[in-house]
Amino acid sequence: MAANIIDGKAFAATVREKVAGHVTRLKEEHGITPGLAVVLVGEDPASQVYVRSKGKQTVEVGMNSFEHKLDAATSEADLLALIDQLNNDPTVHGILVQMPLPKHLDEDLVINSIAPQKDVDGFHISNVGLLATGQKSMVPCTPLGCLMMLRDYHGSLSGMDAVVIGRSNIVGKPMAQLLLGESCTVTIAHSRTKDLPDVVRRADIVVAAVGRPEMVPADWIKEGATVIDVGINRIERDGKKKLVGDVDFAPCAERAGAITPVPGGVGPMTIACLLANTVTACCRANNLAEPEGLTA
């Protein structure tokens, strides 16, 4: 039986619409315009594309976008001074420093210098701790997007067996925390996991976040399972450049109950969730009710 395809592109459009609605209300009822500051250090081409896309979508939902492009040789002191300035700027509700940073800059130090309440990437150690202890936090955008799609498809996730493949700080670990928060029974798999196929075969929900093209074959997937493919891998096949996930999509779609495609699945949700986090941060900063359905 062919799986339901979870359309992340369409879902992201509904998230952006909700965000735009809240932005309009914040402007009309409270005279507040949410603002997102994005800091880019250096000229990494992929980062430039991401930053442009984030800025464009921020403006499209009616928020202010503040872009700070710094030279690749920028000193740590200068970068920290900019972050301090943004932390103290009341028109800035969200701050994102585009990763990766040039080698001479300490990423952990930079992330942890962002005010936690403005940390819309959810990477600050305070937000990591709040999420791990089940408290209100800023939630990393990619896992938040995955959770929104899972909730939308299933309603309650309580009691389901979930396997997250990958244990990175930006995807795997927060994804596992979120699924635990939904009362799933969660297994985190990684490169040292013994018998990964067997672990994945037990799962009602599989989240693949590895970065290895099509590494999950159909015979790892339990019949009817929901498969969320976070991987983004650029490959060349039959002389053509192609984007594929960590899951072998077509055969897995024959066994799964629901599956996200690559492209058009998790990817579009990530920026939509960044906008959602910014509007949430703005509401919290102004002691206003948080938008429903846009947080974990």
- Residues within the interface to ligand NDP (CB under 6 A): 142, 165-168, 170-172, 189-193, 196, 209-212, 230-233, 266-267, 270
Catalytic residues: 54, 98, 121
Q: Of 181 and 263, which CB lies nearer to ligand NDP in the complex structure?
A: 263
Q: Of 265 and 291, which CB lies nearer to ligand NDP in the complex structure?
A: 265
Q: By beta-carbon distance, which residue lies closest to ligand NDP?
A: 168
* Smallest separation (angstroms) from ligand NDP to the CB of 263: 9
Q: Of 86 and 272, which CB lies nearer to ligand NDP in the complex structure?
A: 272
Q: Of 95 and 149, which CB lies nearer to ligand NDP in the complex structure?
A: 149
* Smallest separation (angstroms) from ligand NDP to the CB of 233: 6
Q: At CB < 8 A and 24+ separation, what contacts does 10-14 make?
A: 11/148, 11/149, 11/152, 11/268, 11/269, 11/272, 12/145, 12/268, 12/269, 12/271, 12/272, 13/272
Q: Is the dihedral of CA 173, 164, 9, 144 positive or negative?
A: negative
Q: Of 62 and 172, which CB lies nearer to ligand NDP in the complex structure?
A: 172
* Smallest separation (angstroms) from ligand NDP to the CB of 267: 4
* Smallest separation (angstroms) from ligand NDP to the CB of 215: 6
99: left (phi over 0), alpha (psi -120 to 50) or beta: beta
Asked if 208 and 130 touch (Cβ cutoff 8 Å), the reply is: no
* Smallest separation (angstroms) from ligand NDP to the CB of 136: 23
Q: Residue 265, Cβ neighbours under 10 Å: how many?
A: 29
